[in-house]
Amino acid sequence: MKNLRITLKIASSLDGRIALADGTSQWITSSASRARGHQMRAENDAIMVGIGTVLADDPLLTARTVPLPARQPVRIVADSRGRLPAASRLAQSLDLGRVVAVTTGQATDAAIPAGVDIWRCGNGVRMDVAEFVRRAEAEGLRTLLIEGGSTLAATFIRAGLVDEIAWFRAPILIGGEGLPALGALGLTDLKSATRWRPVATERIGDDVLDTYVRSEQ
Protein backbone atom coordinates (compact mmCIF):
# COMPACT_ATOMS: atom_id res chain seq x y z
CA MET A 1 0.00 0.00 0.00
CA LYS A 2 1.44 3.36 -1.09
CA ASN A 3 0.79 6.35 1.18
CA LEU A 4 2.60 8.93 -0.96
CA ARG A 5 0.15 10.63 -3.35
CA ILE A 6 1.93 11.35 -6.62
CA THR A 7 0.79 13.94 -9.15
CA LEU A 8 2.48 14.27 -12.53
CA LYS A 9 2.39 17.81 -13.91
CA ILE A 10 2.93 18.30 -17.63
CA ALA A 11 3.08 21.61 -19.49
CA SER A 12 2.85 20.87 -23.20
CA SER A 13 1.89 22.16 -26.60
CA LEU A 14 -1.43 21.05 -28.10
CA ASP A 15 0.39 18.16 -29.72
CA GLY A 16 1.84 16.94 -26.42
CA ARG A 17 5.40 18.23 -26.81
CA ILE A 18 7.23 19.61 -23.75
CA ALA A 19 10.28 21.11 -25.47
CA LEU A 20 11.71 21.94 -28.87
CA ALA A 21 14.23 19.51 -30.36
CA ASP A 22 17.06 21.64 -28.88
CA GLY A 23 15.56 21.24 -25.38
CA THR A 24 14.07 24.76 -25.16
CA SER A 25 10.93 24.56 -23.02
CA GLN A 26 10.60 27.95 -21.33
CA TRP A 27 7.88 29.04 -21.63
CA ILE A 28 5.38 26.87 -23.46
CA THR A 29 2.40 27.74 -21.27
CA SER A 30 1.23 31.21 -20.22
CA SER A 31 2.24 33.14 -17.11
CA ALA A 32 -1.23 32.45 -15.64
CA SER A 33 -0.68 28.70 -16.05
CA ARG A 34 2.76 29.01 -14.52
CA ALA A 35 1.27 30.87 -11.55
CA ARG A 36 -1.12 27.94 -11.15
CA GLY A 37 1.91 25.62 -11.28
CA HIS A 38 3.45 27.54 -8.38
CA GLN A 39 0.21 27.10 -6.44
CA MET A 40 0.44 23.36 -7.05
CA ARG A 41 4.01 23.36 -5.76
CA ALA A 42 2.87 25.14 -2.60
CA GLU A 43 0.19 22.47 -2.08
CA ASN A 44 2.66 19.58 -2.23
CA ASP A 45 5.20 18.36 0.33
CA ALA A 46 7.85 17.81 -2.35
CA ILE A 47 8.66 18.56 -6.01
CA MET A 48 10.71 16.22 -8.17
CA VAL A 49 12.50 16.44 -11.54
CA GLY A 50 15.07 14.33 -13.36
CA ILE A 51 18.67 15.48 -13.68
CA GLY A 52 18.04 15.98 -17.42
CA THR A 53 15.68 18.83 -16.57
CA VAL A 54 18.16 20.37 -14.12
CA LEU A 55 20.93 20.30 -16.74
CA ALA A 56 18.62 21.74 -19.44
CA ASP A 57 16.67 24.37 -17.49
CA ASP A 58 18.46 24.94 -14.17
CA PRO A 59 15.11 25.30 -12.32
CA LEU A 60 14.79 26.67 -8.77
CA LEU A 61 11.70 24.53 -8.06
CA THR A 62 10.42 26.79 -5.27
CA ALA A 63 6.76 27.72 -4.87
CA ARG A 64 6.63 31.41 -5.79
CA THR A 65 3.11 32.25 -4.69
CA VAL A 66 1.75 35.51 -3.28
CA PRO A 67 1.98 35.30 -0.33
CA LEU A 68 4.81 32.77 -0.19
CA PRO A 69 3.91 29.43 1.43
CA ALA A 70 4.75 29.07 5.13
CA ARG A 71 7.14 26.30 4.15
CA GLN A 72 8.78 25.51 0.82
CA PRO A 73 8.34 21.97 -0.56
CA VAL A 74 11.34 19.66 -0.43
CA ARG A 75 13.09 19.80 -3.83
CA ILE A 76 14.18 16.40 -5.14
CA VAL A 77 16.33 15.47 -8.16
CA ALA A 78 16.58 11.94 -9.57
CA ASP A 79 20.33 11.92 -10.08
CA SER A 80 21.64 8.34 -10.05
CA ARG A 81 25.23 9.27 -10.82
CA GLY A 82 25.49 12.45 -8.76
CA ARG A 83 25.69 15.00 -11.60
CA LEU A 84 23.92 17.89 -9.83
CA PRO A 85 26.17 20.91 -10.55
CA ALA A 86 27.42 22.90 -7.58
CA ALA A 87 26.61 26.04 -9.60
CA SER A 88 22.98 25.01 -10.20
CA ARG A 89 20.24 27.21 -8.78
CA LEU A 90 19.11 24.25 -6.66
CA ALA A 91 22.50 23.78 -5.01
CA GLN A 92 22.88 27.55 -4.65
CA SER A 93 19.56 28.05 -2.87
CA LEU A 94 19.74 25.73 0.13
CA ASP A 95 18.77 28.67 2.34
CA LEU A 96 15.31 28.50 0.71
CA GLY A 97 14.71 24.86 1.68
CA ARG A 98 15.88 21.30 1.56
CA VAL A 99 17.31 19.81 -1.65
CA VAL A 100 17.67 16.04 -2.08
CA ALA A 101 19.66 14.15 -4.74
CA VAL A 102 18.43 10.58 -5.21
CA THR A 103 21.34 8.38 -6.24
CA THR A 104 22.06 4.65 -6.19
CA GLY A 105 24.50 2.52 -4.25
CA GLN A 106 26.78 2.70 -7.31
CA ALA A 107 27.26 6.48 -7.07
CA THR A 108 30.01 8.20 -5.16
CA ASP A 109 28.85 11.05 -2.94
CA ALA A 110 31.93 13.14 -3.63
CA ALA A 111 30.49 15.05 -6.58
CA ILE A 112 27.24 16.06 -4.85
CA PRO A 113 27.36 19.67 -3.63
CA ALA A 114 27.73 20.13 0.12
CA GLY A 115 24.44 20.66 1.94
CA VAL A 116 22.40 18.63 -0.56
CA ASP A 117 20.88 15.55 1.13
CA ILE A 118 21.58 12.20 -0.52
CA TRP A 119 19.09 9.35 -0.61
CA ARG A 120 20.52 6.11 -1.99
CA CYS A 121 17.71 4.17 -3.60
CA GLY A 122 18.70 0.80 -5.07
CA ASN A 123 21.95 -0.56 -6.39
CA GLY A 124 21.16 -0.51 -10.10
CA VAL A 125 22.24 1.92 -12.79
CA ARG A 126 19.28 4.18 -11.98
CA MET A 127 17.34 5.19 -8.92
CA ASP A 128 14.90 2.44 -7.88
CA VAL A 129 11.51 4.15 -7.90
CA ALA A 130 9.78 1.79 -5.46
CA GLU A 131 12.58 2.25 -2.98
CA PHE A 132 12.44 5.99 -3.53
CA VAL A 133 8.73 6.01 -2.64
CA ARG A 134 9.41 4.04 0.55
CA ARG A 135 12.16 6.47 1.52
CA ALA A 136 9.96 9.50 0.81
CA GLU A 137 7.23 8.01 3.00
CA ALA A 138 9.73 7.25 5.77
CA GLU A 139 10.82 10.92 5.56
CA GLY A 140 7.22 11.94 6.27
CA LEU A 141 6.28 13.13 2.77
CA ARG A 142 2.60 12.64 1.91
CA THR A 143 2.35 14.37 -1.47
CA LEU A 144 4.79 14.62 -4.39
CA LEU A 145 4.55 16.69 -7.57
CA ILE A 146 6.64 15.31 -10.42
CA GLU A 147 7.43 17.98 -13.00
CA GLY A 148 9.26 15.89 -15.60
CA GLY A 149 11.02 15.58 -17.82
CA SER A 150 9.88 12.99 -20.22
CA THR A 151 12.22 10.18 -19.08
CA LEU A 152 11.44 10.46 -15.37
CA ALA A 153 7.70 10.84 -16.01
CA ALA A 154 7.65 7.65 -18.09
CA THR A 155 9.45 5.71 -15.34
CA PHE A 156 6.82 6.63 -12.75
CA ILE A 157 3.94 5.90 -15.15
CA ARG A 158 5.43 2.51 -16.10
CA ALA A 159 5.81 1.64 -12.43
CA GLY A 160 2.11 2.44 -11.85
CA LEU A 161 3.00 4.99 -9.19
CA VAL A 162 1.24 8.10 -10.56
CA ASP A 163 -2.18 8.79 -8.99
CA GLU A 164 -3.09 12.00 -10.81
CA ILE A 165 -2.04 13.89 -13.94
CA ALA A 166 -2.33 17.69 -14.19
CA TRP A 167 -1.87 18.44 -17.89
CA PHE A 168 -1.54 22.06 -18.97
CA ARG A 169 -1.87 22.51 -22.74
CA ALA A 170 -0.98 25.70 -24.58
CA PRO A 171 -2.53 26.40 -28.00
CA ILE A 172 0.70 26.04 -29.96
CA LEU A 173 1.99 23.26 -32.19
CA ILE A 174 5.60 22.09 -31.93
CA GLY A 175 5.61 19.04 -34.18
CA GLY A 176 7.20 15.63 -34.19
CA GLU A 177 10.77 16.78 -33.68
CA GLY A 178 9.82 18.21 -30.28
CA LEU A 179 10.31 16.24 -27.04
CA PRO A 180 7.22 14.15 -26.19
CA ALA A 181 5.66 14.59 -22.75
CA LEU A 182 6.39 10.96 -21.97
CA GLY A 183 9.31 8.73 -22.86
CA ALA A 184 8.82 5.11 -23.91
CA LEU A 185 6.24 3.11 -21.97
CA GLY A 186 7.05 -0.23 -23.59
CA LEU A 187 3.46 -1.13 -24.45
CA THR A 188 2.83 -4.05 -26.78
CA ASP A 189 -0.96 -3.93 -26.78
CA LEU A 190 -3.57 -1.30 -26.04
CA LYS A 191 -5.24 -3.40 -23.37
CA SER A 192 -2.24 -2.89 -21.12
CA ALA A 193 -2.29 0.91 -21.46
CA THR A 194 -3.12 2.60 -18.14
CA ARG A 195 -6.46 4.39 -18.36
CA TRP A 196 -7.11 7.80 -16.87
CA ARG A 197 -10.41 9.25 -15.78
CA PRO A 198 -10.92 12.95 -16.50
CA VAL A 199 -12.07 14.72 -13.32
CA ALA A 200 -11.75 18.42 -14.22
CA THR A 201 -11.14 20.75 -17.13
CA GLU A 202 -10.32 24.38 -16.58
CA ARG A 203 -9.59 27.22 -18.98
CA ILE A 204 -6.64 29.34 -17.83
CA GLY A 205 -6.58 32.20 -20.33
CA ASP A 206 -5.92 30.46 -23.67
CA ASP A 207 -4.43 27.36 -21.97
CA VAL A 208 -6.40 24.36 -20.73
CA LEU A 209 -5.70 22.40 -17.55
CA ASP A 210 -7.05 18.84 -17.64
CA THR A 211 -6.90 16.77 -14.47
CA TYR A 212 -7.06 12.98 -14.59
CA VAL A 213 -6.96 10.29 -11.93
CA ARG A 214 -5.85 6.75 -12.62
CA SER A 215 -8.76 4.42 -13.36
CA GLU A 216 -8.68 1.19 -11.41
CA GLN A 217 -7.72 -1.49 -13.95
Ligand X SMILES: NC(=O)c1ccc[n+]([C@@H]2O[C@H](COP(=O)([O-])OP(=O)(O)OC[C@H]3O[C@@H](n4cnc5c(N)ncnc54)[C@H](OP(=O)(O)O)[C@@H]3O)[C@@H](O)[C@H]2O)c1
Toward ligand X, which CB reaches closer, 87 or 190?
87
DSSP symbols for the chain: ---SEEEEEEEEETTSEEE-TTS--TTSS-HHHHHHHHHHHHHSSEEEEEHHHHHHH--------SSPPSSPPEEEEE-TT----TTSTTGGGGGGS-EEEEE-TTS-GGGSPTT-EEEE--SSSS--HHHHHHHHHHTT--EEEE---HHHHHHHHHTT---EEEEEEES----TTSEESS-----SSGGGS--EEEEEEEEETTEEEEEEEEPP-
Nearest distance from C-beta of residue 77 to ligand X, angstroms: 8
Toward ligand X, which CB reaches closer, 36 or 126?
126
Nearest distance from C-beta of residue 70 to ligand X, angstroms: 26
What residues line the site for ligand X (CB under 6 A)?
Answer: 10-11, 18-19, 23, 25, 28, 49-53, 56-57, 78-81, 83, 126-127, 129, 147-152, 155, 179, 183
Toward ligand X, which CB reaches closer, 141 or 146?
146
Nearest distance from C-beta of residue 14 to ligand X, angstroms: 13
Toward ligand X, which CB reaches closer, 42 or 161?
161
Nearest distance from C-beta of residue 126 to ligand X, angstroms: 4
Nearest distance from C-beta of residue 187 to ligand X, angstroms: 17
Toward ligand X, which CB reaches closer, 67 or 186?
186
